[in-house]
Chain A
Amino acid sequence: MFRRIWALVVKEFLALLKDKTSRMTLIIPPLFQLLIFSYAASFDLNQVNYAVFNQDPGIASRELLGYFKGSPAFKLTATLDHLGQVAPAVNEQKVLMVLHIPQDFTRNMLEGRSGQLQVIIDGRNSNTAMVLLGYINTIVTTFSTQWSQDHGWASPPAELKVRTWFNPNLESRWFIVPGIVGLLTLVVALVVTALSVAREREAGTFDQLLVTPLHPAEILIGKALPGIIIGLAEGSLIVFLTVNLFGVPMLGGLGALYLGMGLFIVSAVGLGLMISSIAVTQQQALLGAFLFLVPAVILSGFATPIANMPVLVQKLTLLNPLRYFLVIVRSVFLEGAEMSLLMPLYWPMAVIGVVTMIIAGWLFRNRLY
């Protein structure tokens, strides 16, 4: 029995790797994408082009603008002379924000009243606008505190001291890069498996396989193993690069990570084989792969938190193995989570893997054309 499965595994590997384009497709894109995406995917802003429309000749506006100039995230690209220039600059995306300081800014502040700072932000990407607003508030608060001290203003009776756990600088890269580990591992597992049965169906060789002494379970194992092996190999490489190239701290143990990765790949391979055995043609299999892959990524909590989704959609994400794996990867990397703490995340993936494999195996025989 083992020899029969082994023969099938060898054949599957040959089918995947003997063609040069196919070999390249499996190795080059995931590594390049890890490299590029890890640098690209971040919610942090570090180059905000802004314009200043300053009508106030006084000292306060000059001091405040100095704070913006001194911040590395901001880049002054234009100084405006009249109000009419504001709209074109924002509309044409020359600047992301305009700081407008009215004439009486310094006078108000010297007389103990609040000076008005008008901030105009391009809201076409509302998340960028929100992040930017946070940056602006931080700068203005720093300036205000300094001004209060220098000019003897009453200090507020209470102050908020924020401390952040696990990711003190709130770098979204630390959150995103471990997520990319999950994304790419899923894509690799799908690429290897989603078309494999459909191709044989289309070529007619699957019928031949079914009339051999191989049991459907053996065919299933033979089809699943290459996906699992390639997925684990590429997953390990991606984790290695994440730690050594991107410097994301790995606080937890490899055991907890690999148990998660193994179960995740099994469930992804199961889903891929299930899609593949439902499809009659490779085009249908490709459509199926995308109909699974895209929602799986979007509803995984990779970029947008699951907690913000409506309750019904949150329930739907329970079927998504990537959802569990992302939490595992992030917990192991950033929080140093132990295996015991992650137990509630391991078993759903195992269940998804087993169920999809059983369905795929059943479809082998019961969906003949």
Chain B
Amino acid sequence: MVSKRFIAKRLLLLVPVLFGVATVVFAILHLAPGDPARVILGQRAPTQQVVQLRRELGLNDPIWVQYGRFLADTAQLDFGQSYQIAKGSPVWDVLADRLPVTIELAIYGQITAILLGIPLGVLSAVKQDSLTDHVTRIGALTGISVPIFWSGPLVLLVFATFLGWLPTSGRIGSTFFLEDHWVLFGTQLPLTGMVSIDTFILDTGAFVQSILYGEGLGAFASLTEYYASFISAVQHLLLPVLTLGIYSMALLSRMMRSSMLEVIRQDYIRTARAKGQGERITILKHGLRNALIPVITVIGIQFGTLLGGAVLTETVFGIGGIGQLLVAAIGATDYPLVQGTVLVFALLFTLVNLGVDVTYSYLDPRIQQ
């Protein structure tokens, strides 16, 4: 069991970190060169307008007043309005639109990494110093040495440009329209913003409707037609997810291998073997369960790498998530948008690590002391 005290303590420790994060983010706007009012209005705007906008934005107030206001606004998820990219609209709205795109990419990437990385790491450890082990280790080492902005273009060249099997960029084919809601029994329901889930819901809706009121069971014959938008979404996701996932997979399999190596030298593994238990059960039941504990922490830490990787992946594959948004916002000196995006990234990372810590303390109660 995870004690409430542990969680309370862990949450309390978050406060100074979040406070510091907010301070760094506040500094972005105030240390960056240039007058925000000038940035918004453009270089040729009359001085009078600039002066007025400065007053409206509260830029003439003492810095600590601005800081206090920033903290209060941020606590309410009010990041102000975008200067350039989505001129005038609240930063939070822009972020809310784009965030699911990045989360979808990160989640699938993480799943790929876990599904491939953990078995490979275990295999490598169990067959230590065999050919399999050497190949896996060198493969993993190569994997973490290959940057996403090289592997991404390479897989695109092979599978999209030369073979033409998969699309080069975007989230869905141009013939499809990305809906933001769906209709169930006449009521409008919001969608998730994650293209694979949304298209699946919509396509399934159309498919079920057809079975009930249209073609009947004959609809199964044209299953791929009903799921065309979902299939297109998956095709668009495949390469970015693999590119992102394989990098994290390499990291994970290395950690899994060394953790597993440590565990299988423990006495209780020898005991399990000595009492005649099968090798498979010994490794999976006694070994893997214990070896996974430290690896879970690593999953949290490398989630940060994954988020950084998402920025690069989105840029390579032309996916409009918050990573691409951040790059565009920096380029356009759209500071409120930069602040909002950075804050959201830091928040995501911190929350994932909090979740990891809680999971860890559940798996290994000793950590709570």
Is B a genuine binding partner of A?
no
Chain A residues with CB under 8 Å of chain B are none
**B-side interface residues toward A, CB under 8 Å?**
none
